Amino acid sequence: MLNSIEKSRKCHGKVDCHSTSSQSSVTGSLPKRRQDLLKWNGWGYKDTEFILNEKLQVELTGTRYKLSGMVLPLLKDWMLNNFNVNLDYVRPAQPEFSAADLPSPVINKPFLEDLQTSGLEHSLDCHDRLFRAHGHTLNEIWALREGSFNRIPDLVAWPTSQVEVMQMVQLANKHNVVIIPFGGGTSVTQALECPSTETRMIISLDTSQMHKILWLDEENLTACLESGVTGKEIEQRLASRGFCLGHEPDSYEFSTLGGWVATRASGMKKNIYGNIEDLVVLVRTVTTRGLLEKSCNAPRTSSGPDLHHAILGSEGTLGVVTEVVVKIRPLPECQKYGSVVFPCFQDGVSCLREVARQRCAPASIRLVDNEQFVFGQALKPENNSLVQSFLDGIKKAYLTRWKGFDINKMCVATLVFEGTLKEVEAQEKRVYETAGKFGGLPAGEENGERGYFLTYLIAYIRDMGLQYGIIAESFETSIPWDRVTDLCHNVKDRLRRECKAMGMQHEPFASCRVTQLYDAGACVYFYFAFCIRGLSDPVKAYEEIESAARDEILACGGSISHHHGIGKIRKKWLKQSISGVGVDVLQSIKRTLDPQNIFGNGNLFDAAVPISKL
């Protein structure tokens, strides 16, 4: 028993990867020249991508992930069948941009002179600038592969401490220069996009060189971290001291603590550790008016509205998050995956609802629908062992023949248990018992683990899809329990329907999963992909469809976003979501903290026109 637990922990996708990056606190996991380590026009590490090998099978290159170097024999057929594509139709990405392809920088000379005097590190290199002109929203990746940018940052700066950030902000304020804070660059809401109408000089303030753990307090279980540290780095460094943060959004390899605060991020294991708003004890934000911070590390205060919540979710419009005191936990003794198959989605949702009612959710519990279940099956690596494939055959036969599961309806819940050995055992027992009441059958660790892998690899798969004319994106929402199933059905229906209305002959891939459980509802995450062959403007088509899907979500009683945020793509629904008065409140905070609109990335809402510049 113990053996298997240890094994599964060792296999846990993230722990063993990226061993090159040192434990040293001198260089963080993200270099200044990110394009040396990461793809300039796609997701993740340069050395990792899905390719078609000479046998025309899908293979994951590199060595970073558990599946790296493996062949996924089923994936190609899944792709061909689900999207009605053929491999002759390719849309190769354009070659890397040169300076001539990019807008030339707007230079505020006095500012640049002051900056040079100050000695703050910065760059005017076009590739540095381009890398910070985008997140990973579909249209941004599309622009990199097949399009162009009409506005990118004019300069990139790398402050190394809060003091340097304060210097930067003061300079910017003095010279009326725009600052766009840049963390991991994994935004999927166009939050990092430079407003095309912006005529002032735009500085991308890259926080990646602020990646230190400033202190760790074992007695109070808190740590003070600089905001530019990535999730993976945090966990690695805390683990070496026997602790963890436990915040694992799907992007956690690259996304940073400051970014999590700025977007109100949510981690997969929030059932144990909480979402970002539950994890922060103190946040320091540099604004144009000075430092916004609290006076103590007390766990909770009543002192008027909590100003942390003005910063959480502010999406870089108010200032730069520089330092955060977070709660930490001792590393769990044991971590284990699990999975349960259900006859149909509705049964799965009922089970999750019951788990939430009993408040017995393990660290993570996610329910994927049938489409994603089938997709997950297609990610099985090549099976060299005859015994294994024989066993798989038996498992399938057992489910479909004996238990009467319909392969076209069944779905799976994936589980992560964490805690002491005893706790994990008890949790497992309770969850599997509850699942049994809804027709759920335990389906092994492997299925669970694969489910979580999919999460880390999905963006790599998207890049491969783009190569063959398939565009894909995800979006999410949160919604009360009684509406979860209807929302899933309706949104998927709406996606299929809008595609049909656009004249697409083949049904899109529309899939969802319930990823977070709360007392009053759940978070639902959608994957959506379709073949763009024959569409004159695929990105516009995608945006229209997603917009319709968001309307459907709101009509079903869902929220505008659970954790991705507003950015620019969801601005039009903000007023509907928080009322006109609500927008006014946000506007007035913005006016107070940033009257000149220095933090002018244009997220959330259109800031009122800056008050006259003398």
Partner 1 sequence: MIRAIPSSKFFLHVCAKQSAGWVLGDFCRLVALQLCSSGSIRRAMSFSPKRKGTYEEILHHRSQQSDVGWSLRSYTPPQYRYCSPRRPIDVGTAVLASPIIRHTVLQLSEEDGSSVERLEQEAEAIVKEMGHDLGMGAIRLFAFVLSKAWRRIYKAIYVNSEHLTKLQGLCKDYPVLLLPSHRSYMDFLLMSYVCFAVNLPVPVITAGADFMSMKGVGSLLRKSGAFFIRRQFGSDKLYWAIFTEYVQSLVRNGDAPVEFFLEGTRSRAQKSMGPKLGCLSAALEPYFKGEVADIYVVPIGISYDRLLEETLYAYELLGVPKPKESTSGLLKARHVLSGDYGNIHVSFNAPISVHEYFRAGVDRSVHATLPRYMSSHSVEEVACTQSLAVDVLLQQQKAIVLSPWSLVAAILLQHSQPGGMGVAERSQLEGVGVAELAEEVHWLKLQLENFGGRINWPGGYTTEAILMDTLTVHSDLVSVSNENRVYLKHVDDVKSKNAALDPVTMATAVRHLTLALYRNQLLHVFQNLGLVALVVTGSQENEISLEDLYKKFMFLRNLLCKDFIFRPCDVEKDFNGVLLGMKHTNAIVQENNHILVAPSVNKCTVFMSRMFEPFLVAYWVLCQFLLTHNRASWKIRDIIEGTQGLEAAMLNHGMLHHYEILSLELLSNAVNGLIHCGAICREKAAFHGNRANMR
- The residues annotated with a catalytic role in the active site are 525
By CB under 8 A, name the one of 482, 537, 584, 606 that touches partner 1: 482
Distances (CA, A) of 137 to 100, 186, 298: 24, 8, 38
What SS3 state is found at 187? coil
- Indicate whether 22 belongs to the interface with partner 1 (CB under 8 A): no
Q: Is the CB of residue 474 less than 8 Å from the CB of residue 525?
A: yes
Is 576 near partner 1 (CB under 8 A)?
yes
Instruction: Quote the least distance from Cβ 480 to partner 1, whole Å.
Output: 9
Which of residues 97 and 518 has its CB atom nearest to partner 1 in the complex? 518
| Pairwise CA distance, residues 380 & 532, whole Å | 26
Distance between CA 340 and CA 439 in Å, rounded? 10
DSSP-derived secondary structure letter, 173: H
Q: How far is the CB of 237 from partner 1 (least distance, A)?
A: 43
The stretch among 104-112, 169-177, 480-488, 509-517 that binds partner 1 (CB under 8 A) is 480-488
Cβ 222 vs Cβ 281: under 8 Å: yes
**Stretch of 221-229, 353-361, 438-446, 483-491 contacting partner 1, by CB under 8 A:** 483-491
Burial of 63: CB neighbours in 10 Å, binned 0-12, 13-18, 19+: middle
Residue 189 structure tokens: 């809401």
Residue from 216, 331, 554, 585 touching partner 1 (CB under 8 A): that is 554
Nearer CB in complex with partner 1: 212/494: 494
In degrees, rounded to 5, the angle at the alpha carbon of residue 495 between the alpha carbons of residues 491 and 501 is 135
Quick one: which of 66, 134, 237, 494 contacts partner 1 (CB under 8 A)? 494
- Kindly state the smallest distance separating residue 557's Cβ from partner 1, in Å: 4
Q: Which of 13, 62, 274, 557 binds partner 1 (CB under 8 A)?
A: 557
Which residue's CB is nearer to partner 1, number 105 or number 557?
Answer: 557
Q: What are phi and psi of 319, to 5 degrees?
A: 170, -170
Give CA–CA dist 354/346, Å, rounded: 12
- Site membership for partner 1, residue 575 (CB under 8 A): no
Subset of residues 247 to 306 that bind partner 1, contact rule: CB under 8 A: none
By the rule CB under 8 A, 483 interacts with partner 1: yes
Total residues binding partner 1 (CB under 8 A)? 17
Supply the minimum distance, in Å, between the C-beta of residue 346 and partner 1. 7
Contact 38, 44 (CB under 8 A): yes
Residues 341-360 that bind partner 1 (CB under 8 A): 346
Q: Phi/psi of residue 8, each to 5°?
A: -65, -30
CB contact at 8 A, 93 and 145: yes
d(CA 300, CA 350): 35
Residue 406 Cβ vs partner 1, minimum distance, rounded to whole Å = 12
Check binding of 493 to partner 1 (CB under 8 A).
yes
**Residue 489 binds partner 1, judged by CB under 8 A:** yes
- Give φ, ψ of 367 to 5 degrees: -115, 120
Q: Applying CB under 8 A, does 220 fall inside the site for partner 1?
A: no
Which is closer to partner 1, CB of 391 or CB of 555?
A: 555
d(C-alpha 265, C-alpha 314), whole Å? 12
**Sole binder of partner 1 in the list 556, 566, 598, 604 (CB under 8 A):** 556
CB of 560 to partner 1, least distance (A): 10
C-beta of 501: minimal distance to partner 1 in Å? 10
User: 234 vs 495, which CB is nearer to partner 1?
Assistant: 495
- Which one among 146, 277, 354, 486 touches partner 1, defined by CB under 8 A? 486
Contact 258, 207 (CB under 8 A): yes
Nearer to partner 1, 258 or 508 (CB): 508
* 223 token code pair: 């740590």
From the list 51, 80, 87, 555, which residue makes contact with partner 1 (rule: CB under 8 A)?
Answer: 555
**Residue 245 Cβ vs partner 1, minimum distance, rounded to whole Å:** 34
Contact 484, 522 (CB under 8 A): yes
Please list the residues that pair with 181 across neighbouring strands.
Answer: 205
Beta strand spans in 289-401 (E): 290-292, 320-327, 329-330, 334-342, 364-368
Please say whether the beta carbons of 151 and 130 come within 8 A. Answer: no
Stretch that binds partner 1, among 91-99, 367-375, 488-496, 520-528 (CB under 8 A): 488-496
Point out which residues bind partner 1 (CB under 8 A). 346, 482-483, 486-487, 489-490, 493-494, 497, 552, 554-558, 576
